[in-house]
Amino acid sequence: MGVFVKKIVYDIGFLSPGSVIRQTFEFNETIEFPLVTGKIEYMITEDMLKPDSFNAEAKYLKTPLLDTAGIMKNIINVGTEGFYFLELPSDKVLDQVVIMPNDVVVDIFCVGNNLLYSFYSPTKETISITAKVIDDDEGIKNELLANLKDIPLRQYYIKRSLASTKEGLEKERFVPDVMDVEKAAKYLGISKKTLYNWASNSKIKSLHAGRLLKFKKDDLDNFLEENPAVKKKTRRKKK
Q: Is residue 173 part of a domain?
A: no
202 shares its domain with 95: no
Give the pLDDT confidence score for residue 165 in this predicted structure. Answer: 57
Distance set, CA 39 to CA 36, 54, 72, 113, 233 (Å) = 9, 26, 24, 10, 39
Q: Is residue 152 part of a domain?
A: yes
214 shares its domain with 131: no
Least confident piece of the model among 83-87, 124-128, 211-215, 225-229: 225-229
123 shares its domain with 89: yes
pLDDT in tens, 121-151: 888 889 999 999 999 988 888 888 888 778 8
Domain finish residue from 120, 137, 166: 166
27 shares its domain with 129: yes
87 shares its domain with 122: yes
198 shares its domain with 122: no
Nearest to 99 by CA among 73, 70, 125: 73
Q: What span, in angstroms and rounded, lies between the C-alpha atoms of 158 and 215?
A: 26
Domain residue limits at 194: 178-238
Grade residue 94 by pLDDT with cuts at 50, 70 and 90: very high
Q: Is residue 202 part of a domain?
A: yes
Strand (E) or helix (H) holding 56: strand 54-61
Q: What domain count does the chain have?
A: 2
pLDDT at 65 over 70: yes
Q: Is residue 171 part of a domain?
A: no
105 shares its domain with 13: yes
Would you tell me the crossing angle of helices 181-188 and 217-226 to the nearest 10 degrees?
30
Q: How large is the average pLDDT for residues 214-232?
A: 80
Q: What is the mean pLDDT of the chain?
A: 81
Q: Give the 3-state secondary structure of residue 5.
A: strand
pLDDT in tens, 33-50: 766 665 555 556 666 667
Cα-Cα-Cα-Cα dihedral of 222, 226, 230, 234, to 10°? 40
pLDDT at 162 over 50: yes
Q: Is residue 210 part of a domain?
A: yes
Domain finish residue from 166, 189, 215: 166
Q: Is residue 218 part of a domain?
A: yes
The domain that contains 72 carries what CATH number? 2.60.40
The domain that contains 225 carries what CATH number? 1.10.1660
185 shares its domain with 137: no
184 shares its domain with 146: no
Q: Decide if 67 contacts 106 (C-beta within 8 A).
A: no
**DSSP of 68-135, one letter per residue?**
TTSEEEEEEE--TTEEEEEEPPTTEEEEEEEEESTT-EEEEEEETTEEEEEEEESS-SEEEEEEEEEE
49 shares its domain with 159: yes
82 shares its domain with 149: yes
